[in-house]
Amino acid sequence: MTHSLRIPDLTIPARPSPVGPGDASDPAVSDVDVIRVRGDARLDGTVHVVGAKNSALKLMAAALLAPGRSLITNVPRITDIAIMGEVLRRLGCGVRFGPDDPVDPMVAHGGVERSRSVLIDVPERPGAEADYDLVRRLRASICVLGPLLARRGYVRVAHPGGDAIGSRGLDMHIAGLARMGAEISGEHGFVIAEAPDGLHGADIVLDFPSVGATENLVMAAVLARGATTIDNAAREPEIVDICTMLNRMGARIEGAGTSTLHIVGVPGLRPVRHATVGDRIVAGTWAFAAAMTRGDVTVTGLDPAYLEVALDKLVAAGGLVETRGDAFRVRMDDRPKAVDVVTLPYPGFATDLLPMAIGLAAVSEGGSLITENIFDGRFMFANEMMRLGAEIRTDGHHALVCGRERLSGAPVRATDIRAGAGLIIAGLCADGLTEVSHVHHVDRGYPDFVADLRALGVEVERGTAPEEPDLAI
């Protein structure tokens, strides 16, 4: 029997600009989007954080596990969400975006929505192939692998794309599904998984606490026959969020937030309404921005416990951090002191905050050693930060950063979501004007970055500039 929620039809409201974050595809133009910021800025005020991109995308995929209409609220209005919506449409789902619950405090800045809801109507028999042209634009779309294999017994998904921040293979996804009875093969850039007799429970030990592998395996296991145990599972708040939604759908999952997950398979799930957890990476970005600009910023919409390690680093740098309920405040009165940072799986320091950690080190008093343990290409943006005058030396997984009193404004290029945000924030600590190009990357992770900056007192504008050709030597 299909369960449905009685929800009014939702429409996608028009954006105020002709091209902006949240559009699945933008007109082909020779110019690139840029954000220009005036340096010598001090952030002051309050900023609200909406739902986490890294959770909302996976919640949308989890909806595939139950025929009927699921509603996910507090979804950030960003490009990646629109792409995932199109992935689901091509799998036969009805997908409608609309305004968030009016009782929620996810209000807009300047009349522009920053969060919205997505209503997903899943058919009894969804499609089984995720197209290459969309999957290559969004690595998170690989998370349809687990739920479609559980529902259909067959799935063909293109190898994913995503940010250029290093190798992120699918070995653990594939090995775990194979232990659950799937036959995995590959051809012409596609991963093909088959389980004609259905999946069965298994004991799985991950080589590394991979978030993506944990999510795919959990979503496959909830409909498998028997019990599944996943050891060395990822512990991120986004994992807890998806397990919470699945349990509300009728799944039987224990251990969310720990390194061991126990899942007992059930015959079927039902659609639900679920609110996305707040985005700890966006919240962390504003925390570091406050410290770098010697500002005073209050961030709402997130449990501060999700950022405990990062906030402790800001205290060590000389900042004042106050936490309460779903909010925290960061104030930095003097020049930050240098602190060392090592990225680790949650609850360690998040790799997505590494660009902000390097930005803080670049303007701190003393030298900082920054160590990246998750992605081998995370330091790709360091050359762009050095164009702003940052003193950085990289060696493998390490970067030595010698702080300077001020940076120097310059044109730079965003290479990924977090690097783009980090460069914009660093520009606030520079003399003169900083222009960051290719900010479509930033749009993929920050719903309304310019409006938030402006509300915090920054002189900022968004525009376009001619694309500079790559010159080969």
Q: What is the 3-state secondary structure (H, E, C) of the chain?
A: CCECCCCCCCCCCCCCCCCCCCCCCCCCCCEEEEEEEECCCCCEEEEECCECHHHHHHHHHHHHHCCEEEEEEEEECCHHHHHHHHHHHHCCCEEEEEECCCCCCCCCECCECCEEEEEEEECCCCCCEECHHHHCCCHHHHHHHHHHHHHHCEEEEECCCCCCCCCCCCHHHHHHHHHCCCEEEEECCEEEEECCCCCECCEEECCCCCHHHHHHHHHHHCCCECEEEEECCCCCHHHHHHHHHHHHCCCEEECCCCCEEEEECCCCCCCCEEECCECHHHHHHHHHHHHHCCCEEEEECCCHHHHHHHHHHHHHCCCEEEEECCEEEEECCCCCECCCEEECCCCCECHHHHHHHHHHHHCCECEEEEECCCCCCHHHHHHHHHHCCCEEEEECCEEEEECCCCEECCEEECCCHHHHHHHHHHHCCEECEEEEECCHHHHCCCCCHHHHHHHCCCCEEEEEEECCCCCCC
Cα of first residue to Cα of last residue in the chain, in angstroms, is 64
pLDDT, position 190? 84
Shared domain check, 250 and 185? yes
The backbone torsions φ and ψ at residue 351, rounded to the nearest 5 degrees and listed phi first, read -60, -30
Query: Measured between alpha carbons, how far is 145 from 186 in angstroms, rounded to an integer?
Result: 13
Query: Measured between alpha carbons, how far is 78 from 318 in angstroms, rounded to an integer?
Result: 34
Shared domain check, 45 and 57? no
Count of domains in the chain?
Answer: 2
Catalytic residue, from 121, 163, 296, 416: name it: 163
Locate 7 and state its tokens.
């929800």
Q: Which of 283, 295, 298 is nearest to 328 (CA)?
A: 298
pTM, rounded to two decimals: 0.89
Question: Is residue 102 in a domain?
Answer: yes
The backbone torsions φ and ψ at residue 249, rounded to the nearest 5 degrees and listed phi first, read -80, -5
pLDDT, position 132? 78
Question: Is residue 83 in a domain?
Answer: yes
Query: From the annotation, which residues make up the binding site for phosphoenolpyruvate?
Result: 53-54
Shared domain check, 63 and 207? yes
pLDDT, position 470? 56
Whether residue 9 lies in the annotated active site: no
Query: From the annotation, which residues make up the binding site?
Result: 53-54, 139, 352, 374
Shared domain check, 140 and 90? yes
pLDDT, position 101? 57
Q: Are strands 44-48 and 203-205 parallel, antiparallel or unpaired?
A: unpaired
Shared domain check, 283 and 271? no
Question: Is residue 436 in a domain?
Answer: yes
Q: Under a CB-based contact definition with an 8 Å cutoff, are residues 333 and 296 in contact?
A: no
**Among candidate residues 275, 300, 318, the one where a domain is terminated:** 275
Shared domain check, 263 and 305? no
Q: Under a CB-based contact definition with an 8 Å cutoff, are residues 441 and 384 in contact?
A: no
Distance (Å) of CA 74 to CA 59, 61, 273: 11, 16, 11
Angular region, 249: left φ>0, alpha ψ -120 to 50, beta rest: alpha
> 242 lies in which domain range?
53-275
Q: Flag residues of the chain having pLDDT under 50.
A: 1-29, 102-111, 161-168, 471-473
CA atoms within 13 A on the CB side of 6: 0
Shared domain check, 289 and 199? no
Distance (Å) of CA 408 to CA 150, 230, 404: 53, 49, 10
Query: Measured between alpha carbons, how far is 54 from 140 in angstroms, rounded to an integer?
Result: 8
Shared domain check, 322 and 220? no
Question: Is residue 105 in a domain?
Answer: yes
Question: Is residue 212 in a domain?
Answer: yes
pLDDT, position 113? 65
Shared domain check, 196 and 331? no
Shared domain check, 349 and 268? no
Question: Is residue 8 in a domain?
Answer: no
Query: From the annotation, which residues make up the binding site for UDP-N-acetyl-alpha-D-glucosamine?
Result: 139, 352, 374
Question: Is residue 9 in a domain?
Answer: no
**Among candidate residues 275, 292, 325, the one where a domain is terminated:** 275
Q: Under a CB-based contact definition with an 8 Å cutoff, are residues 148 and 64 in contact?
A: yes
Shared domain check, 375 and 336? yes
Shared domain check, 261 and 298? no
Question: Is residue 471 in a domain?
Answer: no
**Among candidate residues 240, 275, 310, the one where a domain is terminated:** 275
Kindly report the CATH number assigned to the domain that includes residue 97.
3.65.10.10
